[in-house]
Homo-oligomer: A and B are copies of this chain.
């Protein structure tokens, strides 16, 4: 197993190669896609994808395209989420949001292109012989379901539908499970799938990711809570710190992280790298 930093380096080194050149000479599509992909994210999903692949006996290199596919979907969701009709955020990771930089229509298209290209990358992993055709079927199924109407997009929908409404904690749990945990689950499970892991491992990786995703979203909300200008506050979105208070929310994040780590038992001692990553995400400050 490599270190978290090594996974991130491997991913960053390859990211440019995952976005094709535009056939049409006047197209800036590639530039727009890379602008948002290069946004300095934490690469949580690619790291988990590659780490689970190695944990299941595969090579991280063979999970690179799956890792990129999940990151492409994460990135498109941020672009669309920042649009004026959604959260209307002008700044993303300290730089101009895509629609501020390229205009709304182009940001919409760049997001659509990233989402579409995620599946191109998955198919390419089989075309290049990195994974089997049946692994591609599994990966497409998991990714499209985790990212779709009963996954991430479903979570965004609930998020919008409940703006300004004081929802119960149960609804918040479900929303976070869809909106955030689902794609982290896809990343973890795609790593296992790339390694040809059995159903038990894929299931356990999913349980880990559900809990990690919940903890991750609570920490996000806590960090936002301390930021006066965060759009969640402006848009009156319900969050754990709002509903439970800061201390109780932090306790919940601790609990979910512990549960996540406990669900790694099946993977043996090498799972330490992933446990340490979960812990690092729990104590992050941005």
A: which residues have CB within 8 A of B?
Answer: 20, 22-24, 26-30, 33, 76, 80, 83, 85-86, 103-106, 108-109, 111-113, 115-120, 122-124, 126-127, 132-134, 136-138, 140-141, 143-145, 147-150, 153-154, 156-158, 160-161, 174, 178
Contacts and interface: CB of A to CB of B under 8 A. Distances in A.
Contacts of A86: 105, 108
B106 A22 contact: no
Given A30-B149, A153-B29, A153-B116, A123 B109 contact: no
Contacts of A119: 119, 140, 143-144
Contacts of A115: 112, 115-116
A150 B33 CA distance: 13
Contact of A157 (B109, B117, B144): B109
A4 B146 CA distance: 36
A112 B178 contact: no
Contacts of A108: 80, 83, 85-86, 108
A113 B160 contact: no
A140 B140 contact: yes
- Pairs A-B, 8 closest by C-beta atoms: A85-B104, A133-B133, A120-B144, A123-B141, A123-B140, A116-B148, A119-B144, A113-B149
Given A144-B117, A149-B30, A80 B133 contact: no
A105 B156 CA distance: 10
Given A24-B178, A137-B127, A149 B80 contact: no
Contacts of A150: 20, 22-24
Nearest to A121: B144
A273 B108 CA distance: 38
Contact of A144 (B116, B133, B154): B116
B147 A137 contact: no
A137 B116 contact: no
A101 to B, nearest CB: 14
A158 B24 contact: yes
Contacts of A144: 116-120, 123
B26 A153 contact: no
Nearest to A33: B149
Given A133-B134, A140-B136, A27 B113 contact: no
A154 B27 contact: yes
A141 B116 CA distance: 10
A85 B105 contact: yes
Contacts of A113: 148-149, 153
Nearest to A85: B104
A77 to B, nearest CB: 8
A141 B120 contact: yes
